[in-house]
Amino acid sequence: MSSFTREIVCRTSPYSTCGCCLDGCRLEITSVARVCVSSNAACPGDDRSRFEVRPVSDRVINTKRLSERHGAAPPVCSNHCAPNDNSWCARRDHALPDLVPYVPGIDPDTATRFHSRDSPATCGGIQSLLFIYCAVNRPAVIQQAESALASGTRVPDPECLWLSLSVLLYSDKFAEVTLHCERILRTGGRALPRRSVQIAGLVRARARALRGHCLDAAAELQDLLDGGLPAGLRGVAVAWLLEALAGAGETQQANQLLLGDRFGPIDELPDQAHIHAARGAVQWADGRYEQSLAEYLTAGRILADLRVANSAIVAWRSRAALAAVTIGRTELALALAEDELAIARRWGAPGAVGAALRALGLARRDSHSTHVLERAVELLQLADARYELVPALCDLARLHVENAEPIRARTVLVTAIEYAVASGNRAWLEQANALLPLVSERRKSPKLTRQEQKITRLALEGLANKDIAETMFLTIRTVEFHLSNVYRKLGISGRSELRDAISPAECA
């Protein structure tokens, strides 16, 4: 074994060529070994490096102070780094235990039997999960999961099935997850263990909730819990049920579930990070933002202790940031949103990046916020993550209203309403409809000068700028200047939106 020491400093980039770290974390490589992910054998040509992590930048130090002051979990600097090629091998941290202490949805007694190098029963899922924890190797873990779930092979063992479906879920592959689950459920019956059928139903319900069908997902999750899920899955299932109910606006039912012990005392269920985050979602939907923030930060502390950096497991940072913004704790919100974005970009799932950008845009509230939220909406649409998308569209509409851009706000709200109707989500529909009067009020009586009115009327008649200039004996540049003023006053971007923004009668 050779040994050497060299330093890599990540200041503004969420990753480096040799080591993966959050902003401002210095990775000091102290020794090198070799290991292969796909088997227990040595893997020539790929390094496994052991790291010591030391914060060096002011931003990270200040964020740590912020965390201590506001009670947030400190940023988790992941010590794992991906190889420079697409092989299955990767470096691992010396602090990574041989026995994995935490696997979501699997009771601790079973989880402690899992070795970080995997076994045939887990089909590469443990290594994939560890990569997800530190937000690296997303293409590789997706490939591994798809290989395990390939339709030409038999349905894998329950542990392998759960891990592979979870990997796709955490990677924003909601459509693929749904197809795999439905194929497994069609097989069903005596051909599969009962637990495999339960796992497929559970993951399908979660994918439905994340794609906006919260009521359908809640009903499915309720049936699964009533039918008796294994103890290890019960905590995740209850948490996902609570979040589905919160997303559907069914906060009364969610609070009854929190107060009762229908599925056992809620504080004694496994996967408490998921439970606390679900409580935060319910309290957010109920308008109890201080309590929501506290629950999300508690979830973050639990995950930090478990060395889980990636919010694909539980999106606590972005949602805590939203709660912090709402109650005026902007400094904390900004720190959380920036950390979330760094990790989400390293992981590369569009939904995760979109959710982080939404939180960042609202936390910053500067001249770039609208652009940041527009990008967030694009990525959430790409992921079909409607659970986050519709609220983000409403946030974007509010920004357009504040910026006196009523036509853009109306366009965004129409999109939000279409998604809400398609999802059958009454709470989202009410949220979007509540903003429509603000758009209507801002649209009344645009104050155009007489010259602007004449030019606008001719533009509405279909005349080009050159023809308007000839008709009014003006230069083309003057026409363009007046039209740009009209677009600004009406809150539109150009001619394509002009007819919807003002009628010819208003230009008479």
Phi, psi of 447, deg, nearest 5: -90, 90
- Report the CATH number at residue 462: 1.10.10.10
- What is the structure's pLDDT at 66? 37
Count Cβ atoms within 10 A of the Cβ of residue 68 and give its class: 0-12 exposed, 13-18 middle, 19 or more buried.
Answer: exposed
Position 269 in a domain: yes
- 363 phi and psi angles, rounded to 5 deg: -75, -35
β-bridge partners, 262: 264
How many domains does the chain contain in total? 3
| pLDDT above 60 (res 369) | yes
Q: Are residues 177 and 267 in the same domain?
A: yes
- Report yes or no on 404 lying in a domain: no
pLDDT digits (tens, 9 = 90+) for 186-223: 886 667 889 999 999 999 999 999 999 999 999 999 99
In this structure, the answer to whether residues 162 and 294 fall within a common structural domain is yes
Mean pLDDT of 134-148: 90
Q: What is the CATH number of the domain that holds 252?
A: 1.25.40.10
Which stretch, 187-201, 371-385, 406-420, has highest mean pLDDT? 371-385
Residue 445's CB: how many other CB atoms inside 10 A?
6
The larger pLDDT score, comparing residue 215 to residue 503, is at 215
pLDDT band, very low/low/confident/very high, at 119 (cuts 50, 70, 90): low
Instruction: Flag whether 364 is in a domain.
Output: no
Q: Which residues of 409-438 are buried (b: 16+ CB within 10 A; e: fewer)?
A: bbbbbebbbebbeebebebbbebbeebeeb
Judgement on whether residues 79 and 111 belong to the same structural domain of the protein:
no
Helix locations, 46-157, DSSP H: 58-70, 108-111, 125-133, 138-149
Does residue 16 lie in a domain region? yes
- State the CB neighbour count (10 A cutoff) for residue 503: 11
Residue 141: inside a domain: yes
Shared domain for 45 and 155, answered yes or no, is: no
Residue 331 has a pLDDT of 93
Flag whether 379 is in a domain: no
210 and 280 assigned to the same domain: yes
266 in a structural domain: yes
| Residue at which a domain ends, from 32, 64, 96 | 96
Q: Are residues 152 and 61 in the same domain?
A: no
pLDDT band at 91 (very low <50, low <70, confident <90, very high): very low
Name the phi and psi angles at 9, rounded to 5.
-115, 120
DSSP track, 205-229: HHHHHHTT-HHHHHHHHHHHHHT--
Residue 114's pLDDT is what?
A: 66
Same domain, 173 and 297: yes
The reply to whether 78 and 106 lie within a common domain is: no
Residue 9: strand pairing partners:
26
Phi-psi sector, 118: left (phi>0), alpha (psi -120 to 50), beta? left
Shared domain for 276 and 303, answered yes or no, is yes
Within this chain, do residues 188 and 228 fall inside the same structural domain, yes or no?
yes
Q: Which domain holds residue 496?
A: 450-507
Residues 194 and 72 in one domain: no
243 and 156 together in one domain:
yes
pLDDT of residue 374: 96
Last residue of a domain, one of 310, 325, 358: 310
| Domain final position from 66, 96, 126 | 96
Q: Which pLDDT value is given to residue 151?
A: 65
Q: How confident is the model at residue 115 (pLDDT cuts 50, 70, 90)?
A: low
Cβ neighbours of residue 462 under 8 Å, at least 6 residues apart? none
In a domain, 227, yes or no: yes
DSSP single-letter state for residue 154: P
Residue with tokens 């913004």: 325
